[in-house]
Amino acid sequence: MQVKAAIVTELNGPWRTELIDIDEPRAHEVKVKMAFAGMCHSDEHTRVGDMAVPTEVLAYMGVESMFPFIGGHEGSGVVETVGENVDGLAPGDHVAVSFIPSCGKCEYCASGRPYICDLGATTLAGPMISDGTWRHHYGDKNLNRYAQLGTFSEYIVVHEASLLKIDPWYDLRAAALISCGLATGFGSAATRGGVKPGDVVAVIGCGGVGSGAVQGAVHAGARAVIAIDTNQSKVDRAMKIGATHGAISSLDAAFTFLNELTAGKNCDVVILTPGRLTGDLIEQARSITAKGGVIVATAIAPFAQTQVELNLAMFTLYNQELRGTIFGSVAPRVQIPRLLKLHHEGKFIVDELVSREYSIDEVNQGYLDLEAGKNVRGVVRF
Ligand SMILES: [Zn+2]
Ligand SMILES: [Zn+2]
C-alpha cells in the first residue's frame, strides 16, 4: 500500500514528506496504523551525520548507506494486521513502539537487561530483523527505518519484538511520548542514577529526556532537583514539573545556590540530557558532583566523539562514577506500562510537555522548531 512518510534521502537533506510503498507483514511482523509519533532529537543525529556509521558496520547491517531512511522512533498506534507466528498481538490491539527491540532470548534479555538486547545492533539501518528483506520502498530504493521503526509514517511494518501491547484505556499520545524520551529520562534518574530519598540531583538539558529525568528524580525522593539549560524557557518548564532550582549553566548553579543548598557538598547525581552530548560537558557535570557521586551520560554524542574533558585527579580523589545508559537501563516492557499507569493516575506529567502538534506534512517544520528551542516535545498526530 502507499502511505505518507517523513523521510531523509541524503546527508543533511531536509525532512521530506513523500508517498512510500509498504508491503504486508511477514512472519513475526506486524502492521500498525500510527496514532502519534514523538519528535525526539535522536533522529536529527542521523540526518546531520552525527550517527554516521562506519561502512564496515553498515555492511554488517546489509546496507551501503543510512539513506534514505524513514525517521521516528517514538510512537503509538493500533494493530492493523499481523503476519504468521506473531504471539500476543492481534488486530485492534493498542501498542507502543520500543526503539530497542526485546527478543527475549539473547543473553541480555534472558538476564533481565533487554534494554541492551543483541537485536539493538541492527537498529540504525538495514532490512527487517525478521528475515533480512525489505518492506518499505521509496521508488526503486529500499528504505531504512530509524531504530527498525520509522514512526513518521501513516502505517509501519515492524518486528513484534519492537512493539508492546498497552491497555486500550491509556492515552495513545502519552504512550508515544513515554515510549522513548520520557522513559529514558525517568530511568536515568530513578534507576541508572540510583537517586535515593534526600539526594540532590542536577539535570543538564531540560528537553523531553530531561523532563523525564526531573520527574524520575522527584519520584525517587530527591530533596532538590536542579534544572540546568541554556534556554531559560526550558528551565521554567522544568520548574513546573518538579524541579526546585534552575540555572543556565553548571557554573551558574555553582556560583549561586549550590553551595548553600548542599553545604558545599555538590550534587549526589548529575544527569546529562542535552540535545547533543559533547566531551566538555562531562567535566562540567563532574565539577558539580559530590564525593562518591554519580554522573549519568544519557544523551547521544556524535559517533566520532572519542575525547572527553575530565579532571581525572578529582574524579579519582572524589571516588566518582560515570555511567552510560540506554533507555534509562530499564526494560521497555516494564517501564512504558508503568509510566502510563502513573500518567493515568495524574502522577506523571506528559501533556504539559507537548509544545505543539504537527501533521505528517510538517515534520521538517517540527525539527526546525526543535532546533530553534521552541519545542520541549513536538508530536505528530496522524
Ligand atoms: Zn528518542
Ligand atoms: Zn534480546
Q: What's the 113 CA to ligand 2 centre distance in angstroms?
A: 8
Sign of the CA dihedral 233, 302, 379, 74? negative
Q: Residue 150 C-alpha to ligand 2 middle, in angstroms? A: 20
Nearest listed ligand to the Cα of residue 45: 1
Q: Is the Cβ–Cβ distance between 85 and 27 less than 8 Å?
A: yes
Tens digit of each residue's pLDDT (9 = 90 or more) over 297-333: 999 888 888 999 999 999 999 999 999 999 999 999 9
For range 150-161, the mean pLDDT: 97
How many angstroms does the Cα of residue 15 sit away from the middle of ligand 2?
31
- Which ligand does the CA of 108 lie closest to? 2
- Predicted confidence at residue 78, as pLDDT, reads 98
Among the bound ligands, the one closest to the CA of 177: 1
- At 293 the three-state DSSP class reads strand
Grade residue 54 by pLDDT with cuts at 50, 70 and 90.
Answer: confident
CA angle, residues 358, 359, 361, in degrees to nearest 5: 115
Of the two residues 52 and 230, the one the predictor is more confident about is 230
Q: What is the pLDDT of residues 258-269, one digit of tens each?
A: 999 999 999 999
Q: What is the pLDDT of residue 254?
A: 93
pLDDT tens digits along 6-38 = 999 999 999 999 999 999 999 999 999 999 999
Task: Give me the amino acid identity at 47.
Answer: R
Rounded distance between C-alpha atoms, residue 243 and residue 340, angstroms? 21
Question: Is the pLDDT reported for residue 50 higher than 90?
Answer: no
Give residue 145's pLDDT. 95
- Say which range, 60-64, 96-100, 179-183, 212-216, has the weakest mean pLDDT: 60-64
Which ligand minimizes its atom distance to the CA of 299? Answer: 1
Nearest-angstrom CA–CA distance, 107 and 349: 34
**Mean pLDDT of the chain, nearest integer:** 94
| Banded model confidence at residue 179, pLDDT cuts 50, 70, 90 | very high
Please, is 46 exposed, middle or buried when counting C-beta atoms within 10 Å of its C-beta (0-12, 13-18, 19+)?
A: buried
Ligand nearest to the CA of 207: 1
Give the phi and the psi of residue 34 in degrees, each rounded to 5: -75, 145
> Residue 180 Cα, ligand 1 centroid: separation in angstroms?
5
Q: Give CA–CA dist 255/362, Å, rounded.
A: 42
Residue 304 is predicted with a pLDDT of 84
Going from the Cα of 252 to the center of ligand 2, the distance in angstroms, rounded, reads 43
Q: Using DSSP, state whether 166 is helix, strand or coil.
A: strand
What are the φ and ψ backbone dihedral angles of 261, each rounded to 5 degrees? -60, -35
**Domains and their CATH numbers in the chain:** 2-166+349-381 (3.90.180.10), 182-326 (3.40.50.720)
pLDDT of residue 45: 84
119 CA to middle of ligand 2, Å?
Answer: 6
pLDDT at 160: 96
Kindly report, residue by residue over 87-131, the tens digit of the pLDDT: 899 999 999 999 999 999 999 999 999 999 999 888 888 899 999
**Host H or E run for residue 252:** helix 250-255
Cβ 137 vs Cβ 9: under 8 Å:
no
Interatomic CA distance for residues 301 and 264, integer angstroms: 31
**Which H or E run includes 262?**
helix 258-262
Measure 158 CA to ligand 2 centroid, in angstroms.
Answer: 16
Packed helices 232-240 and 208-219: angle between N→C axes, nearest 10 degrees: 30
**Quick one: which H or E segment has residue 6?**
strand 2-8
Output the CA 250–ligand 2 centroid distance in Å.
38
- So what's the pLDDT on residue 121? 83
Q: How confident is the model at residue 375 (pLDDT cuts 50, 70, 90)?
A: confident
Quote the cell numbers at residue 30.
506486524
Q: Cα of 268 to ligand 2 centre, how many Å?
A: 32
Cα-to-centroid distance, 331 and ligand 2 (Å): 11
How many CA atoms are closer than 13 Å to the CA of 311, on its beta-carbon side?
13
- The predicted structure's pLDDT at residue 125: 83
Q: Supply the pLDDT for residue 331.
A: 96
- The pTM is what? 0.94
To the nearest whole percent, how much of the chain has pLDDT over 70?
Answer: 100
Which among 148, 139, 149, 298 is positioned nearest to 212, based on CA atoms? 298
Q: Within 13 Å, how many C-alpha atoms sit on residue 11's CB side?
A: 7
Q: Residue 52 pLDDT more than 80?
A: no
Beta strands 321-324 and 289-297, pairing class: parallel
For ligand 1, the distance from its centroid to the CA atom of residue 261, given in whole angstroms, is 32
pLDDT score recorded for residue 370: 87
Cα–Cα nearest to 280, from 297, 261, 263: 297
Mean pLDDT throughout 42-62? 81
What burial class does residue 116 get, using C-beta atoms within 10 Å of its C-beta: 0-12 exposed, 13-18 middle, 19+ buried? middle
Distance 352 CA to ligand 1 centre (A): 18
Average pLDDT over residues 71-95: 97
